[in-house]
Amino acid sequence: MAFDINNLDYSLITPDLMLLGLIFVALALDLILPRSQKWLIGWVTIAGLVGSAAAAVSFWGVRENFAGVIRIDEYSVFFTVTFLLASIGVALISLDYVDRFLPHPGEYYGLLISGTLGMVLMAQANELLTAYISLELLSFSSYVLVSYAKTNLKSNEAGLKYIILGAFSSALLLYAISLVYGTTGTTYLPDVARAIGRMGDLSPAFMIALALLIAGLGFKIAAVPFHMWTPDVYEGAPTPVTAYLSVSSKAAGFALTLRILVGGFLPLQEQYQTVFGLLAVLTMTLGNLVALQQRNVKRLLAYSSISQAGYVLVGMAALSRTGDIAEMATRGMMLHLLGYVFTNLASFGALIAFQNTSGGREMLSDMAGFARRAPVPALAMMAGLFSLAGMPLFAGFVTKFYLFTAATRAGLLWLVAIAVINSTISLYYYLLVVYEMYVRTPPGFEEADGHAAHGRVITSAAAASLPLMEGYHGTRAGTVYQAAEGGTAVALMHATAVGQNGHSANGHATGHSAATHDAHGSPAIENASDGHAPAHGAAAAHGNGHGVAHGDGHGDGHGGHGEDFQPISGFGRGITDDMTKERYFPPVRVGWPLTLGLLLFMAGIFYIGIYPTPIMDALQDASRSLFVS
């Protein structure tokens, strides 16, 4: 097979041409629109991607070549639609983030579309040099996107590491292609497969080419030991770019790997089991074990992404068997990658919602109580994490089931056992995030269960400027207790939930002391117990009932009951009267486009997890077209 200049049917690459035009539209709008209207670029990008996806779907059932170097079939159409859906999702969750943190939205969306075009061509590639050029188009777009936040040192560092390691992996891949051409005389995948079939023993040069090819592709899919770039790049890149790399770039890497291995190197499938089985074990195990130690959410998701690549490699190992087992493994990998798109978009979309409202924070402890203030993003994060762990009813359970079933039929029970153990390990660190969001209290809001009261001494001058967050227990928004009469200091007692074995009843604060000084510097209060205080100055004791004790400056003062307290006698006492009332935490604002995106991602997760039959029917045609080609 050679480049066929007479077979240039441009209608076959309509989605590709639409993406190419969309790049220039985004860049032109960035130059034309005033700053106040540049938010329109994101919506134009989404509309263009939706149109490209619709055009791609129309080619389902077509099996044709464009000039012999691009293959249009159900396999390429499936991944084209998958990449476009992923890019639509990334653009949707980027709208608020770009407006808040990133300059020049036209350039950002243009690079996003450019990388998507590279992914589409990777899935369509029928020739090794075309595959390499497509991979480089994606890579160069990713290099710039990772370092797009020019004023962020982490982003600059991540971009530098990514381009250095990426250039090294590209050199390995290009050298592998040159060795394949030198030993087979062609770079067209069907011709490579025929040349391998005619070989007796594989030459050393061809074996080196295979090793370099696996190394170059392993870098793109973040398989161990080619994963070194992943944690630092994921942490340093803007979060929408991290989502883009985690979802689209990884899926594109596997799409290209499958196209090359099945389309060109299928005669060597008996050797797949050892190589990819070992890579799967290393990738799953290292990714999960290192993720256990992470306290940065983006790094945690980075190692989670590495472990998820290991599960797909289990399917790669199952390609070592012929017939329907290899096709079943291919369908399992394709389904897992589709489910992974929705799963990771939900997780990173929720993280973006958190960063939009917290000034860009990304530590695990910063997400404490996030569910109480933003329930929809927290629910999306939980759904995504449970899907990654492979819990029933979520997409991850069904996709792993198909993958592990194929591996079991291929006789890889030992590999399936290791994968199941790793899935169990991963549940721990996913639950850490859920625990922080749903159990912990939001930062800045202290628990109040009435068990004890802590005091702190403030002067009347400091009291006026003491910040209390809105909704703080026992206060109105922005108010403090203060007394500035005669220069007397005030003891402000906060009822906080830190006491043990002690209780407060009838509005009296128990077991904590405070000290103030009067205008002459003499001690005003030695201790406060049960609301009683020998006072020389003014004193305030704040207990569960918000009682206040005022001394007259010469004698004993006794704190009264709070205004909301009612004496209880006989059987009038309710069983919940001793329980702390539910705290109110002011909600945070999450933009409706991001909320819409999160709801759509969750719908995709549950659809695949509950009713995957229509998708599996489509994947059957896609996998057959791959093996036929």
Does residue 342 share a domain with residue 366?
A: yes
| Preceding omega of 225 cis (within 30 degrees of 0) | yes
pLDDT at site 358: 84
d(CA 221, CA 214): 10
Mean pLDDT, residues 119-135: 94
Checking if the pLDDT of 369 tops 60, the result is yes
Residue 415 inside a domain? The answer is: yes
Looking only at the bridges linking them, the beta strands covering 532-534 and 556-558 are: antiparallel
**Tokens found for residue 23:** 């790049």
Does residue 506 share a domain with residue 363?
A: no
pLDDT at site 531: 41
Which has the closest alpha carbon to 318: 384, 407, 419? Answer: 407
Domain end position, chosen among 388, 413, 445: 445
The answer to whether the CB of 542 falls within 8 A of the CB of 452 is no
Does residue 549 share a domain with residue 437?
A: no
pLDDT at site 463: 39
Does residue 412 share a domain with residue 281?
A: yes
Produce one character per residue of 473-504: b if its CB has 16 or more CB atoms within 10 Å, e if not.
bbbeeeebbbbeeeebbbbbbbbbeebeeeeb
Does residue 517 share a domain with residue 378?
A: no
The answer to whether the CB of 572 falls within 8 A of the CB of 68 is no
Does residue 478 share a domain with residue 340?
A: no
Does residue 519 share a domain with residue 423?
A: no
pLDDT at site 441: 82
pLDDT at site 591: 85
- For the chain, the domain total comes to 2
Domain end position, chosen among 526, 541, 560: 560
Structural domain that includes position 431: 265-445
Lowest mean pLDDT among 237-241, 332-336, 378-382, 542-546: 542-546
Does residue 459 share a domain with residue 376?
A: no
Residue 578 confidence class, pLDDT cut points 50, 70, 90: low
Q: Which residue has the higher pLDDT, 605 or 533?
A: 605
Q: Which residue has the higher pLDDT, 542 or 412?
A: 412
Mean pLDDT, residues 93-113: 90
The answer to whether the CB of 515 falls within 8 A of the CB of 539 is no
Residue 501 confidence class, pLDDT cut points 50, 70, 90: very low
Taking only the tens place, the pLDDT of each residue in 155-213 is 999 999 999 999 999 999 999 999 999 999 999 998 999 998 888 788 899 999 999 99
pTM > 0.95 = no
Checking if the pLDDT of 422 tops 60, the result is yes
* 3-state secondary structure (DSSP) of residue 424: helix
d(CA 107, CA 28): 9
Distance of CA 308 to the CA centre of its chain: 13
pLDDT at site 269: 79
Residue 325 inside a domain? The answer is: yes
pLDDT at site 486: 39
Taking only the tens place, the pLDDT of each residue in 144-163 is 999 998 888 899 999 999 99
d(CA 562, CA 478): 20
pLDDT at site 599: 96
- Listed in sequence order, the residues at least 6 apart from 198 whose beta carbon sits closer than 8 Å to its beta carbon are none
Stated as kind and residue range, the H or E segment containing 494 is strand 490-494
Residue 275 inside a domain? The answer is: yes
Checking if the pLDDT of 303 tops 80, the result is yes
Mean pLDDT, residues 459-486: 37
Domain end position, chosen among 560, 593, 613: 560
Residue 418 inside a domain? The answer is: yes
Does residue 451 share a domain with residue 441?
A: no
Q: Is 88 exposed, middle or buried (0-12, 13-18, 19+ CB in 10 A)?
A: buried
Does residue 289 share a domain with residue 420?
A: yes
The DSSP call for residue 439 is: T
